Amino acid sequence: MKKAKRLNALALSAVFTMTVILTACSSNEGSPENQNGIKPPKEGEQVTLKFSFWGDTIEKKTVTEALKRFEQETGIIVEPMHVPSDYLTKLTTMVAGNVAPDLGYLSSGAALSWAEDGKLLNLTPLIESDPDFKKEDYLDQIWYDYAPGKTIGMSTAVEGYGLMYNKDMLLDAGVELPPTEAGKAWDWDTFIEYSKKLTLDDTGKNALDPAFNPDKIKQYGFQYDPYNMMAAVVSNGGNFLTEDGTGFGLTEPEAIEAIQKLADLMYVHHVSPTPLQTKSLPDMALQTKKVAMTVSGNWALQAFAEQDFNLGVGVLPKLKESNTLLDGAPTVIFSSTKHPEEAWLLYKYMADPESVLPLIAGGLWMPLKKSWYTDPELISKWASGNKAHPEGYTESFMKQTLENGIRTPGFEVKNLTKINALVTPALDLVWTGKETAEQALKGVEPKVEPLIQGYYGR
């Protein structure tokens, strides 16, 4: 899957006790419970929920099986609605026609604006009325708040970013393996030096050699999607908006410097392919040794686990501070649901890592609950001892996400879709080498500033 789908495709799961959340469900008190403590619907009442989601074949299978287990344990029928493409278009049509699902995945930009329009349920009353649910049990960075004290819920899953590489290529070149601890992260100059050593032209000369030919590169030291730039921007002390939410943060010196350094990887240092050059690279560039190192989100580990090469992982190189991006689109409950209590029960179930463990252990997702990052017994269930999570993963991805994960703008920047409609074409000029970061971003700033509305949840 592409980045957006992976970030969006996140699942939540666990067997939780059905609680008295609204007075309407108080009549269920005293009804029989199954072995997991979940109360079935009242006798004679059949509740049906529709759950919408996207994802590849593995995700579809795992989510569908989780929904079936929930159905068996509760007696609540769940209709899976898998939408493999044009998801937002499909959901927009359903919402407009008043036939929205009860709950399901939703892209971050649409979710926050739809919440403001009243199309999504504010989960705060459900959370506060549920004695079995503790918000503090979940990662702090995963919550989508559209106003102070109002939330649409959590990411479907967590997606941290890190450095992934072909270990054999680095060892053969005599390059030090990337650090797995934040305190030992490569500084930018060290990262550039090693990337140059790993970049070879068609005669075998690396990019440190004065005779290196940048027009005839056969192996790149590093591959990076520059649109995942926010880790570098924040590492350098910048952000998408200014801290007070009133200004365009990408035109601040710290952000411009970071973005220019990413562009320089392609056009000054020649260690990373340009967008045009990337099109000619195979999907399995690490395995085929066309690329030595890359940056991607956690989801890529699922595909790498199926490939035949010696995969290594490390923390991202830093500018000033070591960090990682933390991404993931939310799962939401639609306000049109006729069964909010049952939808909340399913929401909690899908937020439990146990419910979707194959996706977590398989490398596609990271769990939502803090204990799965700190409890050795739980960590052993997913983050170690399997091909999708190589040596060093628990430090470079798991610990880094927990301690130094910074949220992408989609979690909190208002009007982001309209702002990005201007920013993305401007950045295209940078990534294609037509303008400097300062020229492109300063040029679009007068059009962006009127669209800035601050942050959600503040």
CATH of domain 3-158+328-382: 3.40.190.10
Instruction: Look at 21-30, 121-130, 236-245, 309-318 and tell me which has the smallest mean pLDDT.
Output: 21-30
pLDDT of residue 109: 84
Q: Is the pLDDT of residue 107 over 80?
A: yes
Residue 34: is it exposed, middle or buried by C-beta count within 10 angstroms (0-12/13-18/19+)?
middle
Q: Tokens 């070879």 identify what position?
A: 200
Q: What is the mean pLDDT of the chain?
A: 91
**Whole-angstrom distance, CA of residue 276 vs CA of residue 138:** 41
Measure CA 252 to chain center.
25
pLDDT digits (tens, 9 = 90+) for 236-282: 999 999 999 999 999 999 999 999 999 999 999 999 999 999 999 98
Residue 4: predicted pLDDT: 38
227 — pLDDT class (breaks 50, 70, 90): confident
Q: pLDDT > 90: what percent of the chain?
A: 87
The tokens describing 371, both together, are: 């204990």
Give exposure, 116-144, as e/b (b: 16+ Cβ within 10 Å): eeebbbbbbebbeebeebeeeebbebbbb
Parts of the chain belonging to CATH 3.40.190.10: 3-158+328-382, 160-326+409-451
Greater model confidence, 28 or 306: 306
Fold of the CATH domain 160-326+409-451: D-Maltodextrin-Binding Protein; domain 2 (3.40.190)
Only one residue has tokens 């004695």, namely: 131
Whether the pLDDT of residue 197 is over 50: the answer is yes
pLDDT score, position 341 = 96
Question: CA separation (Å) from 94 to 63, 91, 112?
Answer: 21, 5, 17
Residue with tokens 């204990």: 371
pLDDT tens per residue, range 157-180: 999 999 999 999 999 999 999 999
